Amino acid sequence: AAATAAPEKKEFWRWQENTWYDETKNWKDAKIITCGIDVGSVSSQAVLVCDGELYGYNSMRTGSNSPDSAKNALAGIMDKIGMKLEDIHHVIGTGYGRVNVPFAHKAITEIACHARGANYMGGNKVRTILDMGGQDCKAIHCDEKGKVTNFLMNDKCAAGTGRGMEVISDLMQIPIAELGPRSFDVETEPEAVSSICVVFAKSEALGLLKAGYTKNMVIAAYCQAMAERVVSLLERIGVEEGFFITGGIAKNPGVVKHIEKLLGIKAVDTKIDSQIAGALGAALFGYTLVQKQ
């Protein structure tokens, strides 16, 4: 008898990978095409900029090694639009795997790239950027051109990062995209969890469930704790008006609303996917470099 296939394990933490390009434009009309590749610890993005304007991007999960993640991220957008690597004038690598982008002409730190990307996405009024990545969290100050003037980072711990959210998503058996909305679906706002160390948060969350908390209450307590954690980082650097959030967690309204409430400031809205800020900044740096040459 044929062996029965094991039931497929549902991966609740899997977030939506996506590809987009501007169908109103044709990249073949562009004089200068540049690309930014952001290889992060959890996700990788490839962004194409045509004559200084965002043209398209692909955002996907980072694989087991940086060179392949970079290649796959770029292939994901190039294949859709019929572009080849030789059509691109300049490629810049950024993010935690930036030195391992095999076809990059140069690598630039993600702090500079996120500031530049946020400036494009949120306009020249952006002054404070919170980048909530997969494994670290950064608070960045920039000027009206998107040039970094100061920054602080928390990289010692996965709390307040995308990885922490993935752990909670898996533990609660709730798709990651639903965590934010569900954190509002509570009668009363619970206390923030005391420990947001990912390791301890797991056992604390289980303890709360045993104590009679609903799943939504646990999620709300975790979102609140995450917000408190990043706000303390922001308060150390000081928050100026023109507050912008980049990185995957910017898509979680549960965390974002708590951050806004604690700061008393609303984050600048953007129609562009917040997760591509680093790669977009890298592609824009590439455009400036080609113009100078």
Neighbours of 124 (CB within 10 A): 13
What was the pLDDT predicted at 195? 66
Each residue's pLDDT tens digit, 96-146: 999 999 999 999 999 999 999 999 999 999 999 999 988 889 999 999 999
Amino acid 161 reads T
Tokens of 17: 């990978």
pLDDT band, very low/low/confident/very high, at 205 (cuts 50, 70, 90): confident
Question: What per-residue confidence (pLDDT) applies to 2?
Answer: 53
Q: Which residue has the higher pLDDT, 191 or 58?
A: 58
- Say what the pLDDT of residue 196 is: 59
> Which residues make up the CATH 3.30.420.40 domain(s) of the chain?
30-123+275-291, 128-263
Tell me how far apart the alpha carbons of residues 61 and 39 are, in angstroms, rounded to a whole number: 9
The pLDDT of residue 203? 84
In percent, how much of the chain has pLDDT > 70? Answer: 93
Could you report the per-residue pLDDT of 149-199, keeping only the tens digit for each? 999 998 666 666 788 888 889 999 999 999 999 999 999 988 888 765 666
pLDDT confidence bin for 202, thresholds 50/70/90: confident
Does the pLDDT of residue 272 top 60, yes or no? yes
pLDDT at 158: 64
**243-246: strand order across its sheet:** 148-154, 137-142, 128-132, 243-246
Exposed/middle/buried for residue 59 (C-beta within 10 Å: 0-12, 13-18, 19+) = buried
**Can you give the pLDDT at residue 194?**
74
Contact criterion met (CB below 8 Å) for 255 and 160 = no
Name the class of domain 128-263: alpha beta
Task: Fill in the amino acid letter for 173.
Answer: Q
Closest CA to 261 of 240, 231, 229, 222: 231
Instruction: Give the pLDDT of residue 16.
Output: 87
Say if residue 64's pLDDT is above 60: yes
Domain 30-123+275-291 has CATH 3.90.1150.10: no
Percent of the chain with pLDDT over 90: 74
Going from the C-alpha of 85 to that of each of 8, 48, 58, 102, 103, the distances in angstroms are 37, 11, 15, 12, 9
pLDDT at site 155: 67
